[in-house]
Chains A and B, each alone.
Chain A
Amino acid sequence: MADLSSAAETQASRRRWLLLAPALFILVFAAAGPLLITLVYSFLTPGDYGGVEWQASWQAWFNVVMERDIFDDTLGWSDAHLSIFWRSVKLSLMTTVLCLFFGFPTAYFIATRPKKQRDLWMLLIIIPFWTNLLIRTFAVVELIRAEGTVNTLLIWLGIIDTPIQMLFTEFSILLGMVYVYLPLMVLPLYASMERLDFSLVEAGYDLYATRLKVLRRVILPLVKPGVIAGSILVFVPSLGAYVTPRVMGGGNQLMIGNLIELQFGQGRNWPLGAALSITLLAIVMVALMAYVRAAGNQEPHRV
């Protein structure tokens, strides 16, 4: 009797594992596995022609923020890395804020159109999103390069004599990223605004709230989930952006993504690349936790 029931139990548990197998496969080989490999690599010694030597070392982690002077061997902060980290965080935050600034009115506009028109407006937002990232980025390059549309137009209008240098600056990276990530802000914002009961907006007006107060006291608190989702969706890929800073920054305005690529490519320092990747992951996690906690704790306030 006891053997029989334990045999049935074994069979049941075997079936459970079988059903879990696809999910486990993805988790192990597509998420945890690669991450683990990266983590292990970050503690190894770089190989001469790329790859790694199986020799434990803290050097890569040390090099993330510190460097040893090549002449007098003194320890110092790695200014190059720190400035790249700072630029990445700064540009990602600015991208998020600008996407919110442009995305919020856009989403509100679409959500307040008649139902039949909304799909068309959303399609206009989504079409660029379906277009290849490189093509979209080069389209922006075409607009702002020295002989590009904007400069040509300004010279033709007589506003400027010589082309303005817009490409290969932090401005051009910012412009590119805002353009590329704007749909990621508009979509969740629109989703939360479409569900917004507009009689609440009318109730706000009815109770003596001006337009600005209705926005601040009624609309914003109610679409907060959309704002949070949109900000995360924009901030996270911005921080790890590779293509946009590469094309728009022209190689001298690096972001973390470019720095990591450099270590795995020309730099031939895989452990440092791995350590930088883990650092990027850590920054994203910390930023997310801080943001979600700040947004979640905000009590509905009473003036």
Chain B
Amino acid sequence: MVFAQVSGDVEKTITGGTLKVATAISVRNLRKVYPGQPPVVALADASIDIKDNEFFTLLGPSGCGKTTLLRMIAGFEHPTAGSLTMHGENLLELPPYKRPVNTVFQSYALFPHLTVAQNISFGLEMLGKPKAEIGRTVDEMMALVKMTEMADRQTGQISGGQQQRVALARALAPKPRVLLLDEPLSALDFKLRKDMQLELKRLQMETGITFVFVTHDQEEALTMSDRIAVMNAGEIRQIGNPRQIYDQPAERFVADFIGDTNFLPAELIETAGQTATIRLSSGKQIAARAAESGSQKGKVTLAVRPEHASIGPEAEGLLAGTLGEVVYFGTDTHYHVALEDGTGFVVRQQNRPDATAQFSSGDRVGVHFAPGIGQVLKD
């Protein structure tokens, strides 16, 4: 019995290992330039492979080209150059109504002249599905997004959160191979947004459809995504899973955009693989992570997350400075330290009921962080 079970597991691992995850969407050197004086480069040679069943997020500030890329996948914009394929099929030749993708629009774009059920059935009708199948799928979809009781309401008579769910159901009903979501949660209030984040993740798991999600909210990206592409000024700056993006930002922009970061001037002494030895402005040496590509020796920037650092007595710290503002946030406290070399540094410490060592504004303090926790950034 036990033996059989083990062998079964082994078999599973073997098949799992040989089973290659297919690429759903392949973006190659996609470029979009809007004519004008000077021409506006909305997207500069973007290349991404989005895998099957992946929750992929395009993250960046407004105007970074993430929506342009999404609209090109949907077919509403045409690239200036580059290629775009889905499971090997050239998407660029197809008009939007022939692409097996559906979009959840930022404004939801629900048809105001149709009811909730009619909105959801629209795509299925256009595909010419038989009536019985349409009815069944619409019921299924309304149950999936918990809108069954609202079937005959006009879309103007339901709340923002409900409209959001109808928009989702409408886009999921034709069972697209890829679902595109253009900042779908930005119009919702905080509490509803939190609920919908979980809901979206659940829907993605249940349907197994590839989600391409556009957002400017880094927290949203980190909590929901399998992988994230961070974009800025029309370029993709880093692609990775949330942990990689947060812990090993490839460059200053990514480190700055995702979460809060302290940037310290430092000197790179040597690198061994992905570990670097650096010298801080205080003269103390410490190990840090470096990007794979062999970093140049000399001046570098070290990124340290506020929650990865701690403050203590001046003598125990790697860096010394004067404590400025102390801001209480409930779950944690932010200590703003002015370091001796002039840079500012924020330490975020969790508040515990047994906390004893308290520092107050004006005290001399030391800032400490563990070896290998800082990230060396190419400047």
Chain A residues in contact with chain B, CB under 8 A? 197, 199-200, 202-210, 213, 217-218, 221-222, 300, 302-303
Give the Cβ gap from A280 to chain B, nearest Cβ, in Å.
Answer: 35
Q: A300-B113, A303-B125 are in contact. Are A199 and B107 (CB under 8 A)?
A: yes
Do residues B111 and A200 form an inter-chain contact, with CB atoms below 8 A? yes
| Complexed CA–CA distance, A183 and B300 (Å) | 68
| Complexed CA–CA distance, A208 and B176 (Å) | 11
- Residues B242-278 near A (CB distance < 8 A): none
Is B75 located at the chain interface by the 8 A CB criterion?
yes
Do residues A205 and B97 form an inter-chain contact, with CB atoms below 8 A? yes
Is B109 located at the chain interface by the 8 A CB criterion?
yes
Other than the given A208-B174, A209-B126, 15 more pairs (CB < 8 A) read A197-B107, A199-B105, A199-B107, A200-B109, A202-B103, A203-B105, A204-B122, A205-B76, A206-B101, A207-B123, A207-B170, A208-B97, A300-B113, A300-B114, A300-B115
Give the Cβ gap from B298 to chain A, nearest Cβ, in Å.
Answer: 50
Is B8 located at the chain interface by the 8 A CB criterion?
no
Q: A199-B105, A202-B76, A202-B96 are in contact. Are A207 and B113 (CB under 8 A)?
A: no
Q: How many residues of B contact A (CB 8 A)?
A: 29
Is B88 located at the chain interface by the 8 A CB criterion?
no
CB neighbours of A199 from chain B (8 A): 105, 107, 109
Do residues B96 and A205 form an inter-chain contact, with CB atoms below 8 A? yes
| Complexed CA–CA distance, A200 and B97 (Å) | 13
| Complexed CA–CA distance, A303 and B107 (Å) | 26
Main secondary structure of the interface of A (DSSP, over half): helix
Which of A207, A222, A300 has the most chain B CB atoms inside 10 A of its CB?
A207
Give the Cβ gap from B169 to chain A, nearest Cβ, in Å.
Answer: 12
Is B74 located at the chain interface by the 8 A CB criterion?
yes
Is B353 located at the chain interface by the 8 A CB criterion?
no
| Complexed CA–CA distance, A213 and B128 (Å) | 12
CB neighbours of B19 from chain A (8 A): none
Do residues B95 and A205 form an inter-chain contact, with CB atoms below 8 A? yes
Q: Which residue of A lies closest to B113 (CB)?
A: A221
The 8 closest A-B pairs by CB, nearest first: A207-B123, A203-B109, A208-B126, A205-B96, A199-B109, A221-B113, A209-B126, A206-B103
Q: Pick 23 A–B contacts, CB within 8 A, sort by A.
A: A199-B105, A199-B107, A200-B111, A202-B74, A202-B103, A202-B105, A203-B110, A203-B111, A204-B111, A205-B75, A205-B97, A206-B96, A206-B97, A206-B103, A206-B171, A207-B97, A207-B102, A208-B174, A209-B97, A222-B113, A300-B115, A302-B121, A303-B125
Which of A205, A208, A213, A218 has the most chain B CB atoms inside 10 A of its CB?
A208
Main secondary structure of the interface of B (DSSP, over half): mixed
Do residues A222 and B105 form an inter-chain contact, with CB atoms below 8 A? no
Do residues B112 and A222 form an inter-chain contact, with CB atoms below 8 A? yes
| Complexed CA–CA distance, A39 and B95 (Å) | 61
CB neighbours of A206 from chain B (8 A): 74, 96-97, 101-103, 171
CB neighbours of B97 from chain A (8 A): 205-210
Is B2 located at the chain interface by the 8 A CB criterion?
no
CB neighbours of B121 from chain A (8 A): 302
| Complexed CA–CA distance, A157 and B123 (Å) | 52
Q: A207-B170, A300-B115, A303-B125 are in contact. Are A202 and B109 (CB under 8 A)?
A: yes
CB neighbours of A204 from chain B (8 A): 111, 122
Is B197 located at the chain interface by the 8 A CB criterion?
no
CB neighbours of B111 from chain A (8 A): 200, 203-204, 218
CB neighbours of B115 from chain A (8 A): 300
Q: Which residue of A lies closest to B95 (CB)?
A: A205
| Complexed CA–CA distance, A25 and B115 (Å) | 47
| Complexed CA–CA distance, A62 and B69 (Å) | 73
| Complexed CA–CA distance, A217 and B112 (Å) | 12
Give the Cβ gap from A205 to chain B, nearest Cβ, in Å.
Answer: 4
CB neighbours of A200 from chain B (8 A): 109, 111-112
- Residues B81-125 near A (CB distance < 8 A): 95-98, 101-103, 105, 107, 109-115, 118, 121-123, 125
Give the Cβ gap from B122 to chain A, nearest Cβ, in Å.
Answer: 5
Do residues B95 and A302 form an inter-chain contact, with CB atoms below 8 A? no
CB neighbours of A213 from chain B (8 A): 126
| Complexed CA–CA distance, A26 and B84 (Å) | 67
Q: Which residue of B lies closest to A224 (CB)?
A: B113
Q: Which of A197, A207, A300, A302 contacts B126 (CB 8 A)?
A: A207
| Complexed CA–CA distance, A217 and B113 (Å) | 10
CB neighbours of A218 from chain B (8 A): 111
| Complexed CA–CA distance, A203 and B103 (Å) | 7
Give the Cβ gap from A288 to chain B, nearest Cβ, in Å.
Answer: 23
Q: Which residue of B lies closest to A200 (CB)?
A: B109
Is B127 located at the chain interface by the 8 A CB criterion?
yes
Give the Cβ gap from A84 to chain B, nearest Cβ, in Å.
Answer: 40
CB neighbours of A222 from chain B (8 A): 112-113
Q: Which residue of A lies closest to B105 (CB)?
A: A199
Give the Cβ gap from A100 to chain B, nearest Cβ, in Å.
Answer: 19
| Complexed CA–CA distance, A213 and B112 (Å) | 16
Q: Which residue of B lies closest to A303 (CB)?
A: B125
Give the Cβ gap from A116 to chain B, nearest Cβ, in Å.
Answer: 14
CB neighbours of A209 from chain B (8 A): 97, 122, 126
CB neighbours of B103 from chain A (8 A): 202-203, 206
| Complexed CA–CA distance, A193 and B301 (Å) | 54
Give the Cβ gap from B25 to chain A, nearest Cβ, in Å.
Answer: 16
Give the Cβ gap from A111 to chain B, nearest Cβ, in Å.
Answer: 17
Q: Which residue of A lies closest to B182 (CB)?
A: A199
| Complexed CA–CA distance, A302 and B117 (Å) | 10
| Complexed CA–CA distance, A54 and B115 (Å) | 61
Q: Which of A202, A203, A210, A300 contacts B118 (CB 8 A)?
A: A300
Q: Which of A202, A208, A300 contacts B123 (CB 8 A)?
A: A208
Question: 1/0 per position for B110-149, CB-CB distance to A under 8 A?
Answer: 1111110010011101110000000000000000000000
| Complexed CA–CA distance, A221 and B115 (Å) | 13
